[in-house]
Chain A
Amino acid sequence: MKTVSRVYTALMLIFLFAPIAILLFFSFNDSKSLSVFSGFSLKWYQELFRDRDTLAAVKNTLVLACTASVVSTVMGTAAAVGISRLRSKHLRGVMDTVTNIPMVNPDIITGISLMMMFVFIGSFFGMRTSLSFYTMLIAHITFCLPYVILQVLPKLEQMDPSLPEAAMDLGCTPLRAFFKVELPEIMPGIVTGLIMAFTMSLDDFVISYFTQGNGFQTLPIRIYSMTKKTVTPKMYALATIIFFVILALLLVSNIPDREQDGASRRKNK
């Protein structure tokens, strides 16, 4: 039984990693071929680093992910604090349902619903295009918020409610009690939420695709346009770099799995 499960696990790992291994391998190929390795070369990496569009997309992606994750973490944490204090079961149910919408809806729905609203409002004000960095930022904050809330809320609920009460009895204002007592307690949830929001934003393609505009390109959108045409192994070089960055991140920080509390997306989305 043990052997069977080991062999099965190994087979599944091969299935998961073979495609990635092939990409890595052929990123060092001397020729353009995808099936014949004709010699080691770093030329695709050189070409990648000369590709201004891709480099700009990397920068855009980081700017967007940083802004979106910070904004959604602040707003989401505040929201979680408020939701945890709701006494009315009905109101609580409404908040939970609304928070779940972006997670349960397919990305394509979230994407086009936002896009339609932006386009409608833009044309209302007579703008040729209303889609820009800012619309994409709004979209990213929107789909990041539930992840933050779902990370922070359980931490608030695990906390002993008499702690902030005691602080206030001892003369703290509610605000001071929050920063002195509650915030340190829920910090792990906030950090997890921030990291999840950041990676969700980095990785998103579908929602960004529909809300992009004005030439603002993120890396996933850049990859999409690179794979539209016939592809050079430059794409593989990019994939290889991304792979090693992810590997390093996973190894150094013990990034919480996206699965916590069963609340995840497909990412991917």
Chain B
Amino acid sequence: MSRGLTRLERGERTVKALTLSPYSLWAVLFILVPLLFIAYYAFTDNGFNFTTENITRFFTATSNLTNDSGETVLVRTYLLIFWRSLKLALISTAICLLLGYPLAYAIARSGARTQKTMITLIMIPMWMNFLIRTYAWMTILQDTGILNGLLGTLGLGPIHIIGTEGAIVIGMVYDYFPYMIMPLYSIMAKMDGALLEAARDLGCNALGVLRRVILPLSVPGIISGVTMVLIPSISTFYISQKLGSGKFFLIGDAIEGQYVANNLHFAAAIAFIMMVVLLASMALMRRLTGRRFYGGAK
């Protein structure tokens, strides 16, 4: 009996070692070590000597900017870019949430077949490459594009959207909208309909049910939806290149630009700062809500 057990235990140990070691090795080599390389590049110069120059440059570099009234003002280049990224990403995320919440609710409350069809329909744009989706909006919003063509036939003057921050927001909302819907929908579909009925029976009106039952129950969905829209929006560079006509640099553009210019150490510094900010805000959110993002493997 005891011999059998030890054999089993020894077997277990071998299984664990054999199954875990390739992935553990891979994760260390290609997940953890590369992150260390970002830190290493961020704090070194071209000769790989230690320097804080790159980090300081992020906070102190300045450039001239012409404001709306035509005056030239001196701005902190990268802080401005960072602030703009954050602003546009937050606006886009808020719009996605406001548009997506009622839609997810409407889908979750419909019949089983409608739910399935709707989810498939929402997934189709998501499976199309985001470059193509973004490009589609460029052709729509262009000065000579479809939108202005339509407005023209209606006798309305052409409007200039492409190359504005508004166009970038449209692109972010469109590209990442499904990522908001999916977690919201999956949490709402799991909601017990009896709970809503009970709330109504106990005298809640529609707004009360929403505020007291539906909203609190859907918080985990909101959090993962917000994270999944915010992170790609804040780090994008293609959307701003195409829809912002390259006039509104975002943090992703800054990193990509330095990469293209073969300025890896400064690119690493920008990426490092972005990572620190993202990690800090996630830790903060986690503390505030007591929840882990993405749920994890469990």
Contact residues of A with B, CB < 8 Å?
5-6, 8-9, 12-13, 15-20, 22-23, 26, 34-36, 75-76, 78-79, 81-83, 85-86, 95-110, 112-117, 119-120, 138-139, 141-142, 145, 149-150, 153-154, 157, 165, 168-169, 173-175, 178, 199, 203, 205, 210, 219-220, 223-224, 227, 231, 235, 238-239, 242-243, 246-247, 250, 255, 257-259, 261-269
Contact = CB atoms under 8 A, between A and B. Distances in A.
A-B interface, 5 closest residue pairs, ranked by CB to CB distance from nearest: A79-B23, A82-B20, A266-B232, A82-B19, A106-B235
Interface of B: 4, 8, 11-12, 14-16, 18-20, 22-24, 26-27, 30-35, 37-38, 40-41, 99, 102-103, 106-107, 109, 118-133, 135-137, 139-140, 142, 144-146, 148-149, 174, 176-179, 182-183, 185-186, 220-221, 224, 227-229, 231-232, 234-235, 237-238, 242, 252, 255-256, 259, 264, 267-268, 271, 274-275, 278, 282, 293-298
B177 A16 contact: yes
B264 A83 contact: no
Contact of B294 (A19, A112, A243, A262): A262
Contact of A79 (B20, B146, B298): B20
B297 A96 contact: yes
B272 to A, nearest CB: 9
Nearest to A85: B16
A34 B37 contact: no
A210 B259 contact: yes
Contacts of A157: 298
B245 to A, nearest CB: 13
A259 B238 contact: no
B45 to A, nearest CB: 14
Contacts of A199: 127
Given A150-B297, A250-B124, A114 B32 contact: no
Contacts of A22: 136, 139-140, 146
Given A96-B296, A100-B297, 16 more contacts: A5-B109, A9-B103, A18-B140, A35-B144, A78-B22, A79-B24, A96-B298, A109-B271, A112-B255, A116-B264, A141-B30, A142-B30, A149-B297, A205-B129, A219-B129, A266-B176
A223 B131 contact: yes
Contacts of B31: 98, 101-102, 142
B10 to A, nearest CB: 9
Given A34-B146, A36-B149, A153-B297, A85 B34 contact: no
A103 B146 CA distance: 36
Contacts of A18: 140
Contacts of A141: 26, 30
A184 to B, nearest CB: 17
15 contacts: A5-B102, A17-B125, A19-B133, A75-B22, A95-B24, A108-B252, A109-B35, A112-B268, A117-B33, A150-B297, A174-B12, A219-B129, A235-B135, A258-B123, A258-B126
Main SS at interface, chain A: helix
Q: Which of B35, B118, B148 has the most CB of A within 10 A?
A: B35
Contact of A227 (B135, B259, B282): B135
Nearest to A23: B136
Contacts of A23: 132, 136, 139
B174 A19 contact: yes
Given A19-B140, A116-B268, A262-B186, A239 B132 contact: yes
B27 to A, nearest CB: 5
Contacts of A242: 128-129, 132
A175 B18 CA distance: 11
A101 B294 CA distance: 10
A214 B34 CA distance: 21
Contacts of B128: 20, 239, 242-243, 246
Given A98-B32, A117-B34, A106 B232 contact: yes
B268 A81 contact: no
Contacts of B119: 257
A168 B117 CA distance: 45
Contacts of A178: 15
Q: Which of B4, B103, B264 has the most CB of A within 10 A?
A: B103
Contacts of A149: 23, 297
A9 B183 CA distance: 17
A203 to B, nearest CB: 6
Contacts of A250: 120, 123-124, 127
B223 to A, nearest CB: 9
